C-alpha cells in the first residue's frame, strides 16, 4: 500500500506484547535484544539463572525446557510463545496450542522438524528435493553391509552442531554407527553448502533473505564461516530461493526458518535440514540487512508487517568457538586488534564459562567487496581467540 493511501492507524499499548522465549541461549538473547528495541516485554525460560538471554529479558523463569509446569507458567505470563531451540517439550506445547495459546512456529511444525526422518519424509512427499534416505529396522552386520558407502547416519532426534551425525565410510565402520534411532542418508558430493533464512507470517506472506554459503570446520562439523551472498550464479540463487520457499509452504509454517541446502557437483539443489528458529547462518543479518532475522521473528509472531530483507553490503561471519585446552571464565584475546579492522562488529554471548569448541560469540565484517571481507575474516582467525582461566593439557 502506498504511504499516501494509509488512512487508518493501529494503536498498541506499552509494552506492545508480552513475548515468552523457550530457551535462553545466544539466539534467545539476540531475539530479546530485537524485542526490547521495539518495546516488547520479554520473559525467558532456561535452567541456567545466568543464561545469555536473562541479561536482556525483563524476567526469567528458571527451569528445564521439558518441565511442563514451567512452560505453562511462561505461557501464562506471555501473549505469544516462541523458542530458540527445537529440543523442547513438544507435547506440552501441543496441549497449550489446543487450549488457544499462541505459539509460533506451531507445535505441529516443531514435531515434524524435531524428527529428522519425519522432516525428510514430509519434504520428499511434497516434491521438495532431498538426498536419498532409508531406515533400517535393525542394525545388524548383514543389513549394515548392504548399505552403499560412504553414507551419513543421523540420529532422528536430539542432534545439533554436528552431534548426532556420523559419516560411515565402509562396513568396517560399524563400531562407529550410532545406537540411537536413526536414519541413513546418501552421502552428497557437493560444491557448496548453502543456507537461506525464510520468514512466513500468520497470513502466509513470505520473505526470503539472501542465499549464503556456509563453510564447516572439519574437526568439529560446526559452521565456521558464512559468506553473504553466496558465490553462485543468478539462476542457482533463484532455484535455491524457490526450493526453500516451497519447503516452508509445505510445512505450512509460521516464523523464521533456516533452510540448509547442498549445491551438488551436477548443479542440483537438495534440502539438507530445516531449523524452526533463527539460525547461525543468519547472524550476519544484524549488521548486513535492513531487517535482521531476529527483528523479523518478533514482527512475525506479533502479527506485524514483514521487514525488508535487502542486503546492505556483502558480509562475512565467523563463529567464535572456545579454544581447545581452555575452560572456565572466558578470556578474550586480541579484541582491540580485531576491532581495529574496518567493518568488523563483535558479538559476545555472555556465557559464564567456556569450553573447547563451545559457541562463545561471532564477528561480522561488512565490505563493499565480499573477497575483501573474507580476507579480513581470515586475518581475524589468527588474532581473536576465546580462551579461559583454566588451562588443561590436551596432549
**Residue 326 is part of which domain span?**
190-391
| 157 and 255 together in one domain | no
Integer Cα distance of 46 and 285 in angstroms: 25
| 165 and 210 together in one domain | no
Tell me what pLDDT residue 4 has: 59
Side-chain-side CA neighbours of 269 within 13 Å: the count stands at 25
| 313 and 257 together in one domain | yes
| 258 and 378 together in one domain | yes
Integer Cα distance of 321 and 359 in angstroms: 5
Tell me what pLDDT residue 1 has: 47
| 138 and 262 together in one domain | no
> For residue 114, is it within any domain?
no
User: How do beta strands 59-62 and 41-46 pair?
Assistant: parallel
Instruction: Specify the CATH number for the domain of residue 214.
Output: 3.30.470.20
Tell me what pLDDT residue 95 has: 98
Tell me what pLDDT residue 143 has: 85
> For residue 122, is it within any domain?
no
> For residue 118, is it within any domain?
no
| 217 and 272 together in one domain | yes
Tell me what pLDDT residue 3 has: 55
Question: pLDDT tens track of the chain, all 395 residues?
Answer: 455 566 678 899 999 999 999 999 999 999 999 999 999 999 999 999 999 999 999 999 999 999 999 999 999 999 999 999 999 999 999 999 999 999 999 999 999 999 999 999 999 999 999 999 999 877 888 888 888 999 999 999 987 766 789 999 999 888 899 988 899 999 999 999 999 999 999 999 999 999 999 998 877 778 899 999 999 999 999 999 999 999 999 999 999 999 999 999 999 999 999 999 999 999 999 999 999 999 999 999 999 999 999 999 999 999 999 999 999 999 999 999 999 999 999 999 999 999 999 999 999 999 999 999 999 999 999 999 999 999 876 55
| 291 and 355 together in one domain | yes
Q: What is the pTM of this model?
A: 0.94
Tell me what pLDDT residue 156 has: 92
Tell me what pLDDT residue 109 has: 98
* Residue finishing a domain among 88, 103, 118: 103
Separation in Å, CA 315 to CA 88, 196, 311, 363, 373:
32, 14, 9, 10, 6
| 164 and 199 together in one domain | no
| Number of structural domains found in the chain | 3
Amino acid at each position: 500500500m502506498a504511504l499516501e493511501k494509509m488512512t487508518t492507524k493501529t494503536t498498541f499499548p506499552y509494552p506492545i506484547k508480552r513475548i515468552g522465549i523457550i530457551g535462553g541461549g545466544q539466539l534467545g538473547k539476540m531475539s530479546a535484544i530485537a524485542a526490547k528495541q521495539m518495546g516488547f516485554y520479554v520473559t525467558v525460560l532456561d535452567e541456567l539463572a545466568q543464561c545469555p538471554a536473562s541479561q536482556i529479558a525483563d524476567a526469567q523463569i528458571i527451569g528445564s525446557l521439558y518441565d511442563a509446569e514451567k512452560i505453562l507458567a511462561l505461557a501464562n505470563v506471555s501473549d505469544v510463545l516462541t523458542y530458540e531451540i527445537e529440543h523442547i517439550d513438544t507435547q506440552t506445547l501441543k496441549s497449550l496450542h489446543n487450549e488457544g495459546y499462541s505459539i509460533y512456529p506451531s507445535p505441529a511444525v516443531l514435531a515434524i522438524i524435531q524428527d529428522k526422518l519425519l522432516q525428510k519424509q514430509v519434504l520428499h512427499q511434497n516434491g521438495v528435493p532431498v538426498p536419498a534416505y532409508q531406515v533400517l529396522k535393525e542394525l545388524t552386520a548383514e543389513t549394515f553391509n548392504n548399505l552403499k558407502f560412504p553414507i551419513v547416519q543421523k540420529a532422528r532426534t536430539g542432534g545439533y552442531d554436528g552431534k548426532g551425525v556420523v559419516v560411515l565410510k565402509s562396513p568396517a565402520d560399524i563400531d562407529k554407527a550410532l545406537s540411537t534411532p536413526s536414519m541413513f542418508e546418501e552421502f552428497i558430493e557437493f560444491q557448496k553448502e548453502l543456507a537461506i533464512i525464510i520468514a512466513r507470517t500468520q497470513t502466509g506472506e513470505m520473505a526470503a533473505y539472501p542465499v549464503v554459503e556456509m563453510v564447516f570446520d572439519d574437526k568439529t562439523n560446526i559452521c565456521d564461516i558464512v559468506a553473504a551472498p553466496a558465490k553462485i550464479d543468478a539462476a542457482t540463487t533463484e532455484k535455491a530461493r524457490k526450493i526453500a520457499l516451497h519447503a516452508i509452504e509445505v510445512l505450512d509454517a509460521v516464523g523464521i526458518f533456516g533452510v540448509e541446502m547442498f549445491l551438488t557437483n551436477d548443479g542440483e539443489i537438495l534440502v539438507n535440514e530445516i531449523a524452526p528458529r533463527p539460525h547461525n547462518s543468519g547472524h550476519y543479518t544484524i549488521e548486513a540487512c535492513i531487517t535482521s532475522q531476529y527483528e523479523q521473528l518478533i514482527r512475525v509472531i506479533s502479527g506485524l508487517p514483514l521487514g525488508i530483507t535487502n542486503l546492505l553490503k556483502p558480509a562475512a561471519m565467523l563463529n567464535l568457538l572456545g579454544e581447545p585446552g581452555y575452560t572456565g571464565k572466558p578470556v578474550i584475546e586480541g579484541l582491540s586488534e580485531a576491532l581495529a579492522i574496518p567493518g568488523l562488529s563483535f558479538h559476545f554471548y555472555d556465557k559464564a564459562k567456556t569450553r573447547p569448541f563451545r559457541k562463545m560469540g561471532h564477528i561480522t565484517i561488512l565490505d563493499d567487496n565480499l573477497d575483501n571481507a573474507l580476507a579480513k575474516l581470515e586475518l581475524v582467525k589468527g588474532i581473536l581467540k576465546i580462551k579461559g582461566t583454566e588451562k588443561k593439557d590436551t596432549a
